[in-house]
Amino acid sequence: MPTVERVHHPLFARFYQRFAAAAMAKGEDAFRRELLEGVKGRVIEVGAGHGLNFAFYPPEVAEVVAVEPEAVLRRGAEKAAGGAPVPVRVTDGVAGDLPGDSESFDVGVASLVLCSVPDQQTALRELHRVIRPDGELRFYEHVVADTPRFARAQRIADPLWTRCAGACHLARDTAANIAANGFDIERIRRFRFSTSVLDRLASTQILGVARRQ
């Protein structure tokens, strides 16, 4: 039988909510706003966390289906959905088995989640399945560095980081995997952002738009 994907990191989830608040105060809110600029129609957000993106969805969005498997974060998302400017339905689910019919969404959103899914290829194939042809994947992720020394440090630290940070990985080449799983990257920018020495190894980030083939 196939392995059932489960996500249960209550201690990390509580820490993450505090850490995320600090990141938002130091400028991450601007990246999330850029991520969602111009989004419209029906949206599926994978790994919605405690709903940090909800406030930035533009009025042209008809509905957001927000998928979050971690119970502590999902409760936060349900609370945030009540104050969102667009309809948001929060649901339990995992990236490897999304709750949606094939080709039923105009846009998929992945922000700071593809680092922590058990199998990035499976998650991207599921996003490809639920997004309609010519629909969009909006992504904002931290990734492997483009300098060899920094990338080596990420790979060395990755096993310990993954155990401490809710299964997050430091050294995934997410842009390459997006392009390899049925999406054409139309726009991408790479930058560094961190809030303290604690997250310096995750400071190489990408933000962009891909078109579903």
What would you report as the CA-atom Rg of the chain, rounded to the nearest whole angstrom? 16
Give the model's pLDDT for residue 107.
Answer: 99
Give the model's pLDDT for residue 14.
Answer: 84
Give the model's pLDDT for residue 15.
Answer: 77
* C-alpha to C-alpha distance for 72 and 50, rounded to whole angstroms: 8
* C-alpha to C-alpha distance for 58 and 158, rounded to whole angstroms: 36
* C-alpha to C-alpha distance for 53 and 45, rounded to whole angstroms: 9
Instruction: List pLDDT tens digits, range 48-90.
Output: 999 999 999 999 999 999 999 999 999 999 999 999 999 999 9
* C-alpha to C-alpha distance for 103 and 81, rounded to whole angstroms: 24
Give the model's pLDDT for residue 3.
Answer: 42
Give the model's pLDDT for residue 12.
Answer: 76
DSSP string, 15-52: HHHHHHHHHIIIIIHHHHHHHHTT--EEEEEES-TTTT
* C-alpha to C-alpha distance for 10 and 142, rounded to whole angstroms: 22
* C-alpha to C-alpha distance for 54 and 76, rounded to whole angstroms: 11
Q: What stretches in the chain show pLDDT beneath 70?
A: 1-6, 8-10
- Three-class secondary structure of residue 84 per DSSP: coil
The single-letter DSSP state of residue 112 is S
The dihedral built from the CA positions of residue 195, 200, 201 and 203, taken in this order, carries a sign that is: positive
Residue 46's DSSP bridge partners are: 67, 110
* H or E stretch at 103: none
Give the model's pLDDT for residue 1.
Answer: 32
Give the model's pLDDT for residue 161.
Answer: 95
CA distance readout (Å), 194 to 11, 23, 26, 201: 22, 8, 9, 8
* C-alpha to C-alpha distance for 204 and 180, rounded to whole angstroms: 21
Contact 65, 43 (CB under 8 A): yes
